[in-house]
Structure 1
């Protein structure tokens, strides 16, 4: 794909480094981006709705760098690629992220990592690669039956099936579930899909699942059912937007789709917390 948008030397602050001081003190970073997508409709209509708003991309990068910590610049690069590829429009991203003032005794201009990610280069996009919080905590996961709530096209369901889980993927979007079922069949993975509107049918079988994952979906009245549906020793992994994201970037547009500070801890207070992170 020849069409691309370019963002050159976007400067921001983030938390990345082997030393703890680097992960607690913001340091200057920069990234260069090439975003590969079909620009033909944008060119013919001269309408922003038919392309990618580079200001939105920049805000996502700055927010991710401020809210998360990384030991390696390579991990930061991967995370930024995941964020950029979350939507269906951008097919490939090439980026160069770097520390502008690395803690070295010798003089260098910068140190960083260059990566290319996306479906056009033989690497799945974020729609097909599992959420980093899930991947990074896979050592905590019990074996058995897993439920992916609001699964979409199943990036997390596919990952869990590849880890040996028998996966149930629930969503209200028929097209997404059909796409997931086709991928699972091609890969010979044990994934069962269910078309369900959880807002209309907020129930889950009791003591059925060893693992329940929910990403970027919030339905507060469903959480008691999630807890009751866990088998003894079962685990919930839950990640969604914080209210800070709405207040800073107006995304999601509705406040009720965001968690308040420490709200997730309160909602799951009857469970033991094994890992928790909240954006700053």
Structure 2
């Protein structure tokens, strides 16, 4: 049996806190955000060698996302989402990446507001 070894890594519901928004309350207080990411890549080398150096390391990616979110301030979901997308797509073997960032309770009668960005290489 021949496998195509196309892998999809999914980081689901990464819950973090950051400064996001333009209103005074948002500028002065951290808010919850939820990040979901998909990373598509060819895992042929990782599958055939069982060597971490040939794989996309989701732990390293997640640590970079956490550092970004915790150390910066953002006015717009667009900027935050684009910066996270830059991190998840930086590995050379990534062929497609998508990031969705949710901002819970951003609107009075909604569970959250979210923004999704994607990148195909």
Aligned length: 117
Match of 1:176 in 2: none
Q: Of the two, which has the highest radius of gyration?
A: 1
Distance 1:114 1:25 in 2: 24
Alignment of 1:185-200 (within 5 A): none
Contact 1:13 / 1:62 at 8 angstroms: preserved in 2? no
Match of 2:13 in 1: 9
1:63: how far off? 0.9
Match of 1:134 in 2: none
1:106-155 deviation per Cα after TM superposition (whole angstroms, max 9, x unaligned): 2x222110111132xxxxxxxxxxxxxxxxxxxxxxxxxxxxxxxxxxxx
The two structures have a TM-score, normalised by structure 1, of 0.39
Match of 1:47 in 2: 51
Q: Which has the higher strand share?
A: 2
Q: Which runs of 5+ in 2 are unaligned?
A: none
Cα pair distance change 1:40/1:59, threshold 3 Å: same
1:150-209 deviation per Cα after TM superposition (whole angstroms, max 9, x unaligned): xxxxxxxxxxxxxxxxxxxxxxxxxxxxxxxxxxxxxxxxxxxxxxxxxxxxxxxxxxxx
Match of residue 86, structure 2, among 78, 82, 94: 82
Contact 1:27 / 1:101 at 8 angstroms: preserved in 2? no
RMSD: 1.8
1:4-45 deviation per Cα after TM superposition (whole angstroms, max 9, x unaligned): 211111111111112133133211111111101111111122
Match of residue 67, structure 1, among 50, 71, 76: 71
Contact 2:39 / 2:89 at 8 angstroms: preserved in 1? no
Higher relative contact order (CA 8 A, sep 6+): 2
Match of 2:80, SS state, is helix
4+ runs deviating over 6 angstroms: none
Q: Which runs of 5+ in 1 are unaligned?
A: 120-280
The two structures have a TM-score, normalised by structure 2, of 0.84
Match of residue 111, structure 1, among 108, 113, 117: 113
Distance 1:94 1:22 in 2: 26
